[in-house]
Amino acid sequence: MKIGITNDHAALNLKNELKGYLIDQGYEVIDYGTNTNESCDYPLMGNNLCDAMARNEVEKGIAICGTGVGISIACNKHKGIRAVCCSETSSARLSREHNDANVVCFGARIISFELAKDIVETFLNTPFSNGERHLKRIQELTDLDNQKQA
Ligand code: RB5
């Protein structure tokens, strides 16, 4: 599976640790984030990933900032993106089963590398349930995307 990863300056170390871990696990990882400690803006870093997803360069995304909050808000501005901000694995699992989330976000200042690995593995390895009620609600999200951005 091809994974996109992005980060702002606050998440550089966690991004590098996770990227190395995922490559060791056999994932192909494309990096859309900053690679310096110089201050940068999370909306732009989220945008780099979401544009790549719109071009189908990567199937799923990981977006990290200091809290995970700013970059998840930024990613959710993009059509077709369903980003979830997680600080525990249950939300990562349920966001896949119920919401077919395609970007997982978290905060480098909030969670540890160990927890980040668990969240990412849970997110990447949990399939969408295909449940009828969930499909209906995701279609409603898609309809809203189309109406608001028309
Ligand atoms: C950057 O200092 C910080 O504001 C950013 O990484 C993020 O936490 C915003 O939500």
Tell me the pLDDT band of 148, cut-offs 50, 70 and 90.
Answer: confident
Tell me the pLDDT band of 150, cut-offs 50, 70 and 90.
Answer: low
| Average confidence (pLDDT) over 85-90 | 98
Share of the chain above pLDDT 90, in %: 97
Tens digits of per-residue pLDDT, 57-87?
999 999 999 999 999 999 999 999 999 999 9
Rounded Cα distance between 49 and 46, Å, is 5
* Candidate from 9, 37, 71, 105 with most ligand 1 atoms within 8 A of CB, to mutate: 71
Q: What is the pLDDT of residue 12?
A: 98
* Interior angle at CA 84, CA 80 and CA 90, nearest 5: 135
The first and second tokens of residue 74, run together, are: 């930024």
* Candidate from 34, 40, 45, 65 with most ligand 1 atoms within 8 A of CB, to mutate: 65
Tell me the pLDDT band of 90, cut-offs 50, 70 and 90.
Answer: very high
- Mean pLDDT rounded to a whole number for the chain: 97
| Average confidence (pLDDT) over 127-132 | 98
Rounded Cα distance between 121 and 138, Å, is 23
pLDDT over threshold 70, residue 149? no
Closest residue by CA, ligand 1 atom 9: 70
Rounded Cα distance between 52 and 11, Å, is 20
Spatial CB neighbours of 19, under 8 Å, sequence gap ≥ 6: 5, 29, 31
Is any ligand 1 atom within 6 A of the Cβ of residue 66? yes
| Average confidence (pLDDT) over 28-44 | 98
